[in-house]
Structure 1
Amino acid sequence: MSAQQARGALLAQSGSGLRGLLTWWGHSLAAWLPASLRRIVVAGDERLWLQPQGDDVRLLLQGDAGPRELASLPLPLPAGSDPLQRVLHERARDLPRWLQLPDTAGLRRSLVLPAAARERLREVLSFEIERQTPFAATDVLFAGRLLQIRDDGQLHVELVVLPRTQFEATCARLGGMAQGLAGVDLITSNGQPLGVNVLPPASRGKQHDSWRWWNLGLAAVALLAIVLGMAQLLDNRRAAAATLKTQMQARETQARAISSERQRLLDTVEGETYLRAQRNDRPPVVEVMQALAQRLPDGTYLEKLSIDGDQLNVIGLSSQAAALVGKLEGAPQWTTPALSGALQQDPRTRMDRFTLVAQLAGKLPAAASSPAATSTAGEPR
């Protein structure tokens, strides 16, 4: 038998579909474990064989090293009591019980079935019982054993049949010891089991798993550890997010302060540029005052001189107030001089009080703004 055929046989005996694959995979992984650890991890690795022989029944413990006889009891046994509770230790009593009968007690037939029958092998074999044996399907216990997967994909299967009357008679002799059987197998003349379970699945006793509560507890601890780990991870993420948010807020405040300082600097620079432009666009105050001093006639006194934007305002007393406009015209520092309001005579000095306004002109060229040029401009032609 090739490796592929052996894998197919193991899959077929383990079950069909995903369950069979997982069973085969679990047994394959367990084969790599040490024997002591495999007995703990793999459920059903050990079993207790009940082997009737004549007037006695042998009790054999099936382990990794093979079957080992534990005791031998006389038959028949009482129906109401279970002698295994007395003759076996607690660990052996908890093992699944299997009845082992000689293959002469049943019938074996070789069949060739299509590959599609592998997924529903037991159902297919139930239809073959009446064709291959003299029994009806309801009168026997049966199982199928995959022997080979042929090259054309067909299955070489052995049908194993045990008459129900034979099984019930054996159980009657075993008494209470036959209760809760997990399986029934047949052995050949050389003492090798066939590796089948002719007991219907609904009638198989469930194995008591002494590690069940330990496994449930460990699973609960593992689940709790996963939940706590995820909660801790979530808390770490939240703390990291809060720290990042705090850092971002601090950096945002710092960025706002930097932006505010930058805007203030820009405003200062722009204001200075504007003032410099304004100063450069009109004549200096010294030139304006010098031009006024040169053009104002004698007997004129200034009380106030102010520059409001581009407007020159002059307030003072003069004995020649009416002639001031003509005196100030033609100056390069201002344009359109004019009196603002009526002249008022000061009773103390007998001079006229005047208010004169003019528009400041743009900045003069260097040659025009020199004192010589100003003096020339002020002289009458």
Structure 2
Amino acid sequence: MSAVETVTADSSLPRRLGRAGRRLRPRAASFWAWWTQALASWLPLRVRKLFGLAHERLLLQPAGDSLRLVLEREAEARELGQVPWSGDDMLDPDPLQRLLAPRVADLPRWLVLPAGSGLRRSMVLPAAAEPRLRDMLGFEIERQTPFTAADVQYDARVTGRRDDGQLDVELVVVPSAALDTALGGLGPVSRTLTGADLQSSDGRTLGVNLLPGARRHQRTDPWLGWNLALASVAVIALAASLWQMLSNRSQAADAFEAEVSALATRARTVSVEKQRLLGLVEGMRFLQATRAGRPTTVEVLDEFSRRLPDSTHLEKLSIEDDRILLIGLSRDASSLVRVLEGSDLWRSPALTGALQPDPRTGSDRFTLTAELVVTPPPATAANRGDADAENRP
């Protein structure tokens, strides 16, 4: 690509963006106007007046040496009266301000020209021309009227829409000299005008603005600064409240998480203590079951005292786990096994080692062993759980 082509491409992009912006601006403005009008139509007239949404304007119609004042509201006109008028001799910059009520005096002021002051031409254009209707009809002034574009003030309006996508439009033209003469007759009030409209043959206004943009009075809202300040305060307050709400929720979540963590720690501690207590209970139950399954030492001694003959006396009796050991002297030691058999407290009595005669007493020293009968304790919950875990495939 050459340098000339590069410069041309770079410079065409801003132009394309500018054209796109100019196309979007009238569409956005028309959408905003339609949207606000649709919203306002749902409100009562008193509410629309309060918020400035009612379409009201003060129409000024010069009539010789007097000025006719008409209040137009929602396409309905109401005459307020006529006042003597000599615009050239007035020194007051705004004489209407002291003649009218403040609410009426602050309404947008429009000059209404007689129907014979202008020229109207009807045409049919494609619907795509609506966003730039006035600019397009500006090229039709010299073809449709006997005037040149430099000698007139003009505006355009849509009068109907057809089913085939065409628009019925009307070009309204007023000679600049006639408009300047009408403005001069208003004197200083001409500087307060928002627009200039043309009267139709039936006495109604057309809804066009023939006043040049540079001469239109830009009405400013005295409460705009306060409204912007209040809106800023409202936005800041809303942001602060949302931030505070988020902070409160975050603190509540942190507190709830800490509480849940503390409860979880307590639950784990309680679970450990419960397991420990269950272990102690099971241990005590096992010991009690084991103790209940073993004969007591008193029962064993009582059984031996009843079964052993009087010629036998014991030197030692010990019980270690389930093993019984007897050491003593007896005149009939060989028969002790037979005497001790059949007891419910022990089984398998037997002599251990050889009998040793004792010359002092004439008895035989013996050593006898037996196995204590122990009933196995019932399986505990813990033992059953361990057994199930071992048997589980």
TM range (shorter): 0.5 to 0.7
Of 117, 125, 135, 1:123 maps to 135
Of 30, 55, 61, 2:40 maps to 30
Residue aligning to 1:42: 52
Q: Does 1:172 align with 2:184?
A: yes
Contact in 2 for aligned 1:111/1:157 (Cα 8 Å): yes
The 1:202/1:291 distance shift into structure 2, 3 A limit, reads farther
Alpha-carbon distance between aligned partners in 2 of 1:244 and 1:161, rounded to the nearest angstrom: 76
Contact in 1 for aligned 2:324/2:370 (Cα 8 Å): yes
Structure 1 residue 152: Cα displacement: 1.3
Please give the secondary structure, in 2, of the residue aligned with 1:205: coil
Of 192, 211, 217, 1:199 maps to 211
Contact in 2 for aligned 1:143/1:196 (Cα 8 Å): yes
Give the paired residue count. Answer: 328
The 1:336/1:100 distance shift into structure 2, 3 A limit, reads farther
Please give the secondary structure, in 1, of the residue aligned with 2:93: coil
1:211-269 CA-to-partner distances (Å, cap 9, x unmatched) read 64675577568657756875786687578758866875786577557645643553244
Contact in 1 for aligned 2:141/2:147 (Cα 8 Å): yes
Once the two structures are superposed, the pairs formed by residues 79-118 of structure 1 within 5 Å of their partners are 81-118=93-130
Structure 1 residue 115: Cα displacement: 1.6
CA-based RMSD of the aligned residues comes to: 4.8
Residue aligning to 1:301: 315
Q: Does 1:284 align with 2:298?
A: no
Structure 1 residue 197: Cα displacement: 1.6
**Structure 1: 5+ residue stretches without partners:** 1-14, 340-354, 365-381
Structure 1 residue 291: Cα displacement: 6.4
% identical equivalent positions: 40
Give, as a single letter, the amino acid of the residue that structure 2 aligns with 1:99. Answer: L
Of 139, 142, 161, 1:149 maps to 161
Q: Does 1:51 align with 2:58?
A: no
Structure 1 residue 173: Cα displacement: 3.7
Structure 1 residue 49: Cα displacement: 2.1
Once the two structures are superposed, the pairs formed by residues 327-346 of structure 1 within 5 Å of their partners are 332-333=346-347
Once the two structures are superposed, the pairs formed by residues 312-323 of structure 1 within 5 Å of their partners are 312=323
Alpha-carbon distance between aligned partners in 2 of 1:85 and 1:156, rounded to the nearest angstrom: 40
Contact in 2 for aligned 1:77/1:176 (Cα 8 Å): no
The 1:334/1:156 distance shift into structure 2, 3 A limit, reads farther
Alpha-carbon distance between aligned partners in 1 of 2:29 and 2:195, rounded to the nearest angstrom: 19
Residue aligning to 1:352: none
The 1:270/1:262 distance shift into structure 2, 3 A limit, reads same
Contact in 1 for aligned 2:347/2:370 (Cα 8 Å): no
Structure 1 residue 196: Cα displacement: 1.3
Once the two structures are superposed, the pairs formed by residues 210-225 of structure 1 within 5 Å of their partners are 212=224, 219=231
Give, as a single letter, the amino acid of the residue that structure 2 aligns with 1:26. Answer: T
The 1:226/1:335 distance shift into structure 2, 3 A limit, reads farther
Residue aligning to 1:68: 80
More moved, 221-230 vs 165-174: 221-230
Please give the secondary structure, in 2, of the residue aligned with 1:179: helix
Alpha-carbon distance between aligned partners in 1 of 2:135 and 2:174, rounded to the nearest angstrom: 17
Between the two structures, name the one with larger relative contact order (CA 8 Å, sep ≥ 6): 1
Alpha-carbon distance between aligned partners in 2 of 1:77 and 1:111, rounded to the nearest angstrom: 43
1:311-330 CA-to-partner distances (Å, cap 9, x unmatched) read 6587x98569xx99x97999
More moved, 214-223 vs 96-105: 214-223
Alpha-carbon distance between aligned partners in 1 of 2:368 and 2:226, rounded to the nearest angstrom: 112
Alpha-carbon distance between aligned partners in 1 of 2:290 and 2:55, rounded to the nearest angstrom: 104
Structure 1 residue 112: Cα displacement: 0.5
Contact in 1 for aligned 2:86/2:185 (Cα 8 Å): no
Give, as a single letter, the amino acid of the residue that structure 1 aligns with 2:138. Answer: S
The 1:358/1:216 distance shift into structure 2, 3 A limit, reads farther
